[in-house]
């Protein structure tokens, strides 16, 4: 069976995602599609709008055959680590190809850029360090260094968020020595960070989330921008998640920790622990806190990831133990269609690590971080819903979907 991979967050699954999925299928003609999907917290350091289980349902209803979790240790990282983790999982699952959305829309441009980066790696990294010393954030320094190093070359625009991820996906395939064939589909209409809802039926996930909260979580306002199956899932959700829901707990964690304790958390570096406490004392909301905290050196996204690690109690030592491993020790299965189940049976003998469906009987440092993330994610819920939600993390088997009957079984 031919397998296509996609790397997703589906926060939530919208019409743009459906377009990408359909075009990816047209391009590669797979028998099954496997999605590596972030769990409860996302790459930009945000809690997911709805849980990974609800987003798994959206994925299966809209044409994905297998959903596996991108562990917290990789899902809440900068683009390079995020991409390497996701591509590694797709390689473990023996996919033949994967397809990502990009502003560039041409895979040859990515291949050429990755090749040129390898040829000019030393001057590029020297230039990055130069711009960092001038007080720029790492993403800004990388962008300036890239423009300087490749100013006369025909390369992709690495100021665009999906191009950045795409570059690291293609680079990860090369560095891992993976036989996976990468493809890309050009994004349409709405940009990744676009906060506007346009007359067309395509809007970014950012715009959809923003509109949900601005309209007091009234989901009918976004109905035109999501597929019908997504809308049916959203109608059953009792609560959506956003950073403001976690502000009180974050405030407690930051103000009740000593600077020494804050320094143990992942990404808390260079004395920013003092600024964290100073800004938190003055702020009344998460948005106000972040606005005070933001500096030229630290991007909003990096600061949100830092806050996520403080919220989930993730230390530098814990993250190091997981991310320094050369190989995964497991893949966590969240959901599958009948075709997906058939594919997993077919490749079972070729996979060197377990595909786990019962986390209660499995122990791993990476899985321990996922469990902590779920506990933190559940905080805004009231009892008994919170206890049930945490219990689900340990007891929920993979969601099974019968694509012929169009129902969960």
In order of start, what are the domains of the chain with their CATH numbers?
3-103+185-241+325-408 (3.40.50), 243-321 (no CATH)
* 273 among annotated binding-site residues: no
- Report the distance separating Cα 322 and Cα 338, nearest Å: 32
* 20 among annotated binding-site residues: yes
* DSSP annotation of 171: H
pTM: 0.91
Chain Cα centroid distance, residue 251: 25
Can you give the pLDDT of all 409 residues of the chain as single tens digits? 999 999 999 999 999 999 999 999 999 999 999 999 999 999 999 999 999 999 999 999 999 999 999 999 999 999 999 999 999 999 999 999 999 999 988 899 999 999 988 888 888 888 888 888 888 887 788 888 888 888 777 788 888 889 999 999 999 999 999 999 999 998 765 444 555 555 568 888 888 998 888 877 678 888 999 999 999 999 999 889 999 999 999 999 999 999 999 999 999 998 999 999 999 999 999 999 999 999 888 889 999 999 999 999 999 999 999 988 756 789 999 999 999 999 999 998 888 889 998 888 888 899 999 999 999 999 999 999 999 999 988 889 999 999 999 999 9
Q: What is the pLDDT of residue 217?
A: 67
* 227 among annotated binding-site residues: no
* 18 among annotated binding-site residues: yes
* 177 among annotated binding-site residues: no
Task: Using the structure block, give the residue that is written with the tokens 């596996």.
Answer: 68
* 11 among annotated binding-site residues: yes
* 7 among annotated binding-site residues: yes
Is residue 65 within 8 Å of 337, Cβ to Cβ? yes
* 13 among annotated binding-site residues: yes
* 162 among annotated binding-site residues: yes
Q: What is the pLDDT of residue 231?
A: 94
DSSP codes joined into one string, 212-280: HHHTTT-GGGGGGGS-HHHHHHHTT-S----GGGGHHHHHHHHHTS-HHHHHTBTT--TTHHHHHHHHH
* 12 among annotated binding-site residues: yes
* 131 among annotated binding-site residues: no
Is residue 60 within 8 Å of 399, Cβ to Cβ? yes
Is residue 303 within 8 Å of 26, Cβ to Cβ? no
* 15 among annotated binding-site residues: yes
């Amino acid at each position: 069976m031919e397998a296509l991979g996609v790397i997703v967050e589906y926060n939530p699954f919208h019409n743009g995602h459906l377009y990408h999925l359909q075009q990816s299928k047209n391009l590669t003609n797979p028998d099954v599609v496997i999605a590596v999907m972030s769990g409860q917290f996302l790459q930009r350091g945000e809690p997911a709008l709805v849980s990974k289980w609800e987003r798994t349902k959206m994925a299966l209803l809209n044409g994905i055959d297998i959903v596996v979790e991108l562990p917290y240790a990789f899902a809440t990282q900068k683009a390079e680590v995020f991409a390497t983790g996701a591509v590694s999982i797709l390689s473990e699952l023996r996919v033949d190809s994967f397809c990502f959305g990009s502003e560039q829309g041409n895979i040859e441009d990515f291949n050429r850029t990755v090749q040129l980066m390898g040829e000019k790696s030393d001057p590029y990294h020297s230039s990055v360090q130069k711009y960092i010393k001038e007080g720029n954030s790492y993403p800004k320094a990388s962008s300036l260094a890239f423009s300087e190093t490749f100013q006369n070359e025909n390369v992709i625009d690495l100021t665009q968020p999906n191009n950045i991820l795409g570059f690291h996906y293609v680079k990860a395939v090369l560095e891992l020595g993976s036989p996976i064939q990468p493809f890309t589909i050009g994004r349409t209409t709405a940009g990744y960070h676009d906060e506007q809802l346009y007359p067309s039926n395509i809007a970014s996930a950012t715009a959809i989330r923003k509109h949900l909260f601005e309209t007091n979580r009234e989901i009918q306002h976004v109905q035109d921008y999501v597929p019908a199956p997504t809308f049916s899932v959203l109608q059953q959700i009792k609560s959506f998640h956003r950073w403001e829901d976690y502000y009180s707990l974050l405030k407690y964690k930051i103000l009740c920790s000593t600077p020494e304790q804050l320094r143990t958390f992942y990404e808390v570096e260079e004395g920013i622990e003092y600024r964290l406490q100073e800004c938190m004392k003055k702020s009344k909301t998460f948005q106000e806190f972040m606005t005070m905290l933001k500096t030229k050196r630290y991007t909003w996204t990096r600061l949100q990831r830092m806050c996520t690690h403080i919220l989930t109690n993730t230390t530098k030592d814990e993250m190091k133990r997981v991310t320094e491993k050369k190989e995964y020790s497991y893949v966590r299965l969240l959901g599958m269609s009948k075709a997906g189940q058939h594919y997993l049976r077919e490749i079972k003998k070729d996979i060197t690590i377990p595909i786990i469906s019962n986390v209660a009987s499995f122990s791993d440092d990476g899985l321990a971080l996922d469990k902590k993330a779920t506990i933190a994610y559940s905080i805004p819920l009231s009892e008994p819903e919170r206890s049930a939600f945490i219990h689900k993390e340990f007891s929920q088997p993979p969601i099974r979907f019968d694509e012929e009957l169009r129902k969960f079984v």
